[in-house]
Amino acid sequence: MKQLSLLEAFDIIDINVTNDIADKTNYIVESFSAGGLCVEDARQELEAKYTPILEVTNKFDRRSVSYQLSKKDVLHSWLKYKEGFSADLVNILLDDMGAVPGDTVMDPFMGSGTTALVCQMRGINSIGYDIMPISGVSINAKANVMKYNISEIQCLLQEFKALEMPANYSKKTPYITITNTAYPEFNEHFIQFASEWITSSEYSDAAKNLFTLCMINSLERCSYTSKSGQYLSWDSRSQKVIEANIERAKNGKKLLPQHQCREIVESIKDAVIDELHHVLLDIETIQSNSNPESSATIDYTQNSVLFELPQLADNILKGVITSPPYCNRYDYTRTYALELVYLGIGEETIKKMRQDLLSCTVESKPKIEALKEHYASIGASERFNSIYSIIKSNAAFQEIMEAMRARKENGDLNNNGVIRMVEGYFTELAFIYAELYRICKKGAMVAFVNDNVRYGGEVIPVDYLSTSFAEQFGFTPVKVYCLKQQKGNSSQQMKKYGRVALRKSVTIWRKD
Ligand SMILES: C[S@@+](CC[C@H](N)C(=O)[O-])C[C@H]1O[C@@H](n2cnc3c(N)ncnc32)[C@H](O)[C@@H]1O
């Protein structure tokens, strides 16, 4: 057996990487509660119940469930969205579900829009939701690929190359507290200048949107920030860190460590030119090689899927392919703060958006009352009550929540907001599973990509718990594909509680 190795990019562990599929035993959780502090019977029961449908697979790997494979793809690489999955994964799952032109497939958490785009290429209609407007920019830019007027984009590129910012231009791009001083001075001015230029230009809406995509794709590398970990990480050359260190020195505090996000902070103009060249090349390639435009529709709504699904009709979907935010404290609104601010979103709206996210951060507040009101407003209170009582009756969920509270009492949680997050996360996801069951047609297949997690020494089997909710709502559990590469344990948890198997899975359910 190969030594366990930590793969840098995604904190992933490779187990027994041979040509053969690894033994299932490496992926089964033996003990859910470190030190035997909490009851784990219900989780053990799930483990026993669903392990027969667990398949350690070569079909998906850490590259296909992440943005890595898309990096070199034409079109799919247009938005650098590291939380995205690949077109390969979507193609495999569409084949598995037997989706054909004319069918409708949904991605309730659309992100960069890969599900929608692959569907469109195959003549399949799609419905998608995301709370972040970045999704809209991405999907509009990509879905228009056959429609761009190449001469117009070439002209835009040439004009942008020749664009000179007057020496006395003094406006700066807007910022919110967490993005203040994110850019070197030239970039701060030029981003604003370029934004005014494109807005007041005569280019078509499609060309302007393409420019916006290139701009948001460039912001990070032209800034003193980088998307690493759960938030934005800051470069010690930024004014923000310099000022913080002056203050810390005054107060006798330890200085923030010297940290450079990147060697060179690029000029925003050069970066956007680079992006425009990239998309233009793809447009030329695709337009000259592809079949005529697909007539498939993409129906995208920028809103919380929690509040959209209850309003959809029954029995309309052939399938669902998605990856929700993981239950891992990752805050999309902080990570994508530069891009959201560029798109004109202000501080208060971003804070609200943070609360609209599926509960995946320790700041998430419960949404259950708002959901209850929403169901009432559409005359569906009975449905709300029935779904909620099923959720509350799930023994493994109850056990996990009790274990979280016991860990809090034991001082094992480094942030007590984790309890509210875990409760909100599964309650909200379960509402989505229930609604998807109703919206799917008979025979439809649902695929969710997700990671198992551990907090305070308690393993939460996201894949099996989700499957048990899905089964309660009527789905037939078909398969839990588990990647050979497992999720790494955090170093703190590993030191304190030892290593456990944390599966990265693709769960498959069917409506029979
Ligand atoms: C893991 S990413 C999805 C990535 C996508 N599969 C792709 O390939 O790009 C999860 C997405 O869910 C979105 N999201 C979070 N909470 C949401 C909600 N309540 N409603 C709709 N979208 C939400 C986030 O903004 C994020 O883009």
* DSSP code, position 449: E
Tell me if 503 sits within 8 A of 32, measured CB to CB. Answer: no
Asked if 397 and 428 sit in the same domain, the reply is: yes
Asked if 237 and 111 sit in the same domain, the reply is: no
Q: Which atom of ligand 1 is nearest to the CA of 112?
A: 9
Tell me if 450 sits within 8 A of 323, measured CB to CB. Answer: yes
Q: Measured in angstroms, how far is the CA atom of residue 325 from the centroid of ligand 1?
A: 6
Asked if 274 and 337 sit in the same domain, the reply is: no
Number of Cα atoms under 13 Å in the Cβ half of residue 387: 25
CB atoms within 10 A of CB 176: 18
- Taking CA atoms only, the protein residue closest to ligand 1 atom 9 is 84
Domain ends where: 246, 269, 289? 289
Rounded-to-integer distance, Cα 462 and Cα 400, Å: 11
- Taking CA atoms only, the protein residue closest to ligand 1 atom 7 is 84
Number of Cα atoms under 13 Å in the Cβ half of residue 332: 28
Asked if 104 and 229 sit in the same domain, the reply is: no
Tell me if 43 sits within 8 A of 29, measured CB to CB. Answer: yes
Asked if 165 and 227 sit in the same domain, the reply is: yes
pLDDT at residue 63, as a whole number: 79
- In sequence order, the β-bridge partners of residue 105 are 126, 319
Domain ends where: 289, 306, 334? 289
Rounded-to-integer distance, Cα 483 and Cα 463, Å: 12
Asked if 129 and 266 sit in the same domain, the reply is: no
218 within ligand 1 shell (Cβ under 6 A)? no
Q: Measured in angstroms, how far is the CA atom of residue 112 from the centroid of ligand 1?
A: 9
Nearest-CA neighbor of 106 among 344, 438, 360? 438
- In sequence order, the β-bridge partners of residue 127 are 106, 299
Asked if 135 and 240 sit in the same domain, the reply is: no
3-state secondary structure of 66: coil
Rounded-to-integer distance, Cα 138 and Cα 140, Å: 6
From 131, 230, 309, 331, give the residue whose CB has the most ligand 1 atoms within 8 Å, as the site to mutate: 131
From 63, 64, 110, 311, give the residue whose CB has the most ligand 1 atoms within 8 Å, as the site to mutate: 110
From 68, 80, 92, 130, give the residue whose CB has the most ligand 1 atoms within 8 Å, as the site to mutate: 130
Structural domain harbouring 228: 150-289
- Taking CA atoms only, the protein residue closest to ligand 1 atom 12 is 109
Q: Are strands 12-14 and 317-322 parallel, antiparallel or unpaired?
A: unpaired
Query: Tokens 């390639």 identify what position?
Result: 285
Residue 119: what residue type? C
Tell me if 356 sits within 8 A of 131, measured CB to CB. Answer: yes
CB atoms within 10 A of CB 223: 26
Q: Measured in angstroms, how far is the CA atom of residue 428 from the centroid of ligand 1?
A: 14
Which structure tokens are listed for 192? Answer: 């604003």
Question: What's the Cα-to-Cα distance from 321 to each of 87, 222, 463, 492, 509, rounded to whole Å?
Answer: 11, 33, 15, 33, 11
pLDDT at residue 1, as a whole number: 29
Asked if 284 and 300 sit in the same domain, the reply is: no
Residue 227: what residue type? K
Helices (H) and strands (E) in the chain, counts: 19, 15
**Cα 474–chain centre separation:** 26
| b/e 68-100 (16+ beta carbons within 10 angstroms → b) | bbbeeebbbbbbbbbbbbbbbbbebbbebbebe
Check which CATH number belongs to the domain holding 487 and give it. Answer: 3.40.50.150
**Cα 246–chain centre separation:** 36
Asked if 311 and 215 sit in the same domain, the reply is: no
Number of Cα atoms under 13 Å in the Cβ half of residue 86: 19
Total domain count for the chain?
A: 2
H or E stretch covering 390: helix 381-393
pLDDT at residue 458, as a whole number: 97
306 within ligand 1 shell (Cβ under 6 A)? yes
Asked if 161 and 106 sit in the same domain, the reply is: no
326 within ligand 1 shell (Cβ under 6 A)? no
- In sequence order, the β-bridge partners of residue 479 are 508
Asked if 140 and 10 sit in the same domain, the reply is: yes
Rounded-to-integer distance, Cα 65 and Cα 43, Å: 26
Rounded-to-integer distance, Cα 16 and Cα 132, Å: 39
Asked if 297 and 225 sit in the same domain, the reply is: no
Q: What is the CA radius of gyration of the chain?
A: 24
Reading the chain (512 residues) residue by residue, the pLDDT tens digits are 232 222 333 333 444 444 345 578 889 999 999 999 999 999 999 999 999 999 999 888 777 787 776 777 888 889 989 899 999 999 999 999 999 999 999 999 999 999 999 999 999 999 999 999 999 999 999 999 999 999 999 999 999 999 999 999 999 999 999 999 999 999 999 999 999 999 999 999 999 999 999 999 999 999 999 998 777 889 999 999 999 999 999 999 999 888 888 888 899 999 999 999 999 999 999 999 877 777 899 999 999 999 999 999 999 999 999 999 999 999 999 999 999 999 999 999 999 999 999 999 999 999 999 999 999 999 999 999 999 999 999 999 999 999 999 999 999 998 999 999 999 999 999 999 999 999 999 999 999 999 999 999 999 999 999 999 999 999 999 999 999 888 777 777 788 888 887 999 999 999 99
Q: Measured in angstroms, how far is the CA atom of residue 59 from the centroid of ligand 1?
A: 23
pLDDT at residue 14, as a whole number: 43
Domain ends where: 261, 289, 317? 289
pTM of the model: 0.93
184 within ligand 1 shell (Cβ under 6 A)? no
From 63, 64, 109, give the residue whose CB has the most ligand 1 atoms within 8 Å, as the site to mutate: 109
Rounded-to-integer distance, Cα 44 and Cα 30, Å: 8
* DSSP code, position 430: H
Rounded-to-integer distance, Cα 484 and Cα 17, Å: 8
pLDDT at residue 2, as a whole number: 31
